[in-house]
Chain A
Amino acid sequence: MEFFNNLALGLSVAMTPINLAYGFLGVLLGTAVGVLPGLGPVATISLLVPITFALPAPAALIMLAGIYYGAQYGGSTTAILVKLPGESSSVITAIDGNQMARQGKAGLALATAAIASLIGGTIGTAVIALAAPALAEVALDFGPADYFSLMLFGLLAAVIIAHGSVVKALGMILVGMLLGTIGTDVNTGMERYTFGIPALGDGLDFAIVAMGLFGIGETLISLDRNEGPLPAIRNLRGLWPRWADVRTFLPAAFRGTALGGALGLLPGGGPVLASFSSYALEKKISKSPERFGHGAIEGVAAPEAANNAAAQTSFIPMLTLGLPSSAVMALMIGALTVQGITPGPQLMEQRPDLFWGLVVSMWLGNFMLVILNLPLVGLWVNLFRIPTRFLYPGILMFCCVGVYSLNTSALDVFIATLFGLLGFVCHRLRCEPAPLLLGFVLGPMIEENLRRALLISHGDPRVFMERPISLSFLILSLVLLVMLVAPAVRKTREQAFQEGKA
């Protein structure tokens, strides 16, 4: 009964005109950035975070969330039509989706992607509604030692799943943690790494770090790659699938949803890993695996369902534990913190309107997305044709305006420039910038929990082993470390990412 009362509360929040409007704006923007290659949800959300400061908290969260899961829909459109995935989570969709389009089944591929996405998205949201409250209750018992071990586990998991070198990703996390210590130490009042600049006393603003790394940095990277546009497939007839197609792709979509939803929960998991794994699963269990890569409809349905399910369930660690499992979630936490809201186990009791409003808005948003993406697909294809020479100066200007107007400070623009440079250098050195942002957000939390745990135990490190929750996460972390070193796992991991690049 309580569940339905909660849903009713969520409905009343999500249906207010302002929240509906911002939810729609979010999914609209999300689709747009999903379609545009080179501009992803991380960059867009970092650009829009400053704007949300002026909004009420539910509207802000609903809009930012909409951008994130909306991008999962939009990303598949260009993946199918031009074999140019708008998002990294659609890379795998491009393989079979584009083959289908080349065989004259573009409409069917798009419809399959949209329907599978809807299945993944709505079930993923249901999982949030059912599992998050229970998990939050468990999380209330978490002590500082438990949080410390959990975050350690989360960071390690994030590293394994990140592309590229594990050692480099670990280093990037540490650099992020070091950057996170800039500012006044909350416990001792001592200023660290401020170089006597008063504005740094409150620490680096995470929105500026994010806009520099992802907004400015990604713009530089996209110029560096110098990608030319590819011819798009324009024949979009036959949007509605036939029964025979539905029978093939529905089971695949449900399997994708289950796998994606589970992987989305993992720290560092999220849509990319989900889409890769579900594709691999479909290929493995299929009776005719040779069709994969040549336009297999399951190869579109499963990864698209999986990436949407994962996009939804990756909200769970953020909402119940206050832990970001990805750069996007780190951005959401940042946006909420500025609103004076600390995501965590107390969120559901203190702000049920926020939590349930978000859940209901996700359902509404997923339906809006199907309408936005299916009948209006022609529109988005045109958006894709905007030449980059118009686009990237605009992104750059939005970045600068956003950074400057955060605190009306020119210094912030210089700091963002520095992070833009860092983003570019890291790209050339084959380091992913996302772990840095995770370390930056988690660093202060890790320090605080480590300090508290050791204060309670009078400096005895055994506290991390004595608490069952903490101990289990430490054991899990150890397992992860062993797996990392084990050559077999390294090989599979490399193969999985190699397949994605093909």
Chain B
Amino acid sequence: MAGPSKTLTIRWSTDLLTGLQFAAIAMAGGSIGARYPFGDPSHMGAGFFPKAVCSLLALIGTGLVTRAFTGGQEVVGEIDPRPLLLLVGTLVFGLVIEDLGFPLAGLVLVLFAHLGGRVFKPLGTSLLAIGLVGLCVLVFAYGLGLNLPMTRFR
């Protein structure tokens, strides 16, 4: 384990942030959906349902924000952003799999996974990465016949 971890502390309440998140989603959904025809109840248009859902969501978002200001709130607290490196890993996986093949993409994924979990060790991580890639090639490419790029050697 690495030394004391760097964390991010958010002092905002979960209600407030959730409310804002819901309101933002509702606004985005509502404004994009504004150009879908609404129709009328007997012949609902494509926009009827999305608009109904967005209005309700906006209502709930507002309710949460209001609740955040009336006490009884729980703050988000400490966040360790380090595990988010896993998402960088899956992103890179998606970026390289088609051009550079699954084996390389898989190795990179395990690398980021261990960096994100603070358990990276050069030798241990490489061995695990090679083992996991080998297992996936065996099970998925050969066993189940899935089409993973650059796993068939002709």
Binding site for B on A (CB under 8 A): 51, 54, 165, 167-168, 170-171, 174-175, 177-178, 181, 185, 187-188, 190, 192-193, 216, 219-220, 223-224, 226, 388-390, 392-394, 396-401, 404-405, 408, 410-411, 413-414, 416-417, 420-421, 424-425, 428-431, 443, 447, 450-451, 454-455, 457-459, 461
Q: How many angstroms from the CA of A487 to the CA of B111 in the assembled complex?
A: 50
Binary CB contact string for chain B from 10 to 21 against chain A (1 if under 8 A, 0 otherwise) = 000011011001
Q: Which residues of A contact B25 (CB under 8 A)?
A: 175, 178
Interface residues in B14-63 by Cβ distance below 8 A to A read: 14-15, 17-18, 21-22, 25, 29, 32-33, 36-37, 40-46, 48-50, 53-54, 56-57, 60-61, 63
Give the most central of A390, A397, A399, A457: most B CB within 10 Å.
A397
Interface residues in B96-135 by Cβ distance below 8 A to A read: 97-98, 102, 105-106, 109-110, 113-114, 116-117, 119, 128-129, 132-133, 135
Residue of A nearest to B93 (CB): A400
Whether B90 contacts A400 by the Cβ 8 Å rule is: yes
Whether B45 contacts A188 by the Cβ 8 Å rule is: yes
Q: Which residues of B contact A458 (CB under 8 A)?
A: 42
Given contact pairs A404-B148, A451-B44, A393 touches B97 in the complex (Cβ within 8 A): no
Given contact pairs A401-B146, A458-B42, A424 touches B84 in the complex (Cβ within 8 A): yes
CB distance from A230 to the nearest CB of B (A): 17
Interface residues in B69-97 by Cβ distance below 8 A to A read: 74, 76, 79-80, 83-84, 86-87, 89-91, 93-95, 97
Determine if B136 is an interface residue (Cβ-Cβ < 8 Å).
yes
Contact count A vs B, C-beta below 8 Å = 178
Whether B97 contacts A413 by the Cβ 8 Å rule is: yes
Given contact pairs A392-B117, A429-B18, A174 touches B60 in the complex (Cβ within 8 A): yes
CB distance from A398 to the nearest CB of B (A): 8
Q: Which residues of B contact A457 (CB under 8 A)?
A: 42
Q: How many angstroms from the CA of A192 to the CA of B45 in the assembled complex?
A: 11
Q: Which residues of B contact A170 (CB under 8 A)?
A: 60
Whether B94 contacts A417 by the Cβ 8 Å rule is: yes
Whether A174 contacts B132 by the Cβ 8 Å rule is: no
Whether B113 contacts A168 by the Cβ 8 Å rule is: no
Of A192, A396, A410, A425, which contacts B98 at CB under 8 A? A410
CB distance from B33 to the nearest CB of A (A): 7
Whether A168 contacts B53 by the Cβ 8 Å rule is: no
Whether A192 contacts B46 by the Cβ 8 Å rule is: yes
Whether A220 contacts B79 by the Cβ 8 Å rule is: no
Given contact pairs A174-B60, A178-B57, A192-B50, A401 touches B136 in the complex (Cβ within 8 A): yes
Whether A178 contacts B29 by the Cβ 8 Å rule is: yes
9 interchain pairs, CB-CB under 8 A: A185-B46, A187-B46, A188-B45, A393-B109, A393-B110, A399-B90, A401-B146, A417-B94, A430-B18
Q: How many angstroms from the CA of A421 to the CA of B83 in the assembled complex?
A: 11
Q: How many angstroms from the CA of A219 to the CA of B85 in the assembled complex?
A: 12
Given contact pairs A223-B117, A393-B132, A51 touches B144 in the complex (Cβ within 8 A): yes
Q: Which residues of B contact A394 (CB under 8 A)?
A: 132, 135
Residue of B nearest to A418 (CB): B87
Determine if B142 is an interface residue (Cβ-Cβ < 8 Å).
no
Q: Which residues of B contact A216 (CB under 8 A)?
A: 86-87, 90
CB distance from B137 to the nearest CB of A (A): 10
Q: Which residues of B contact A51 (CB under 8 A)?
A: 144
Given contact pairs A174-B53, A178-B25, A459-B41, A405 touches B147 in the complex (Cβ within 8 A): yes
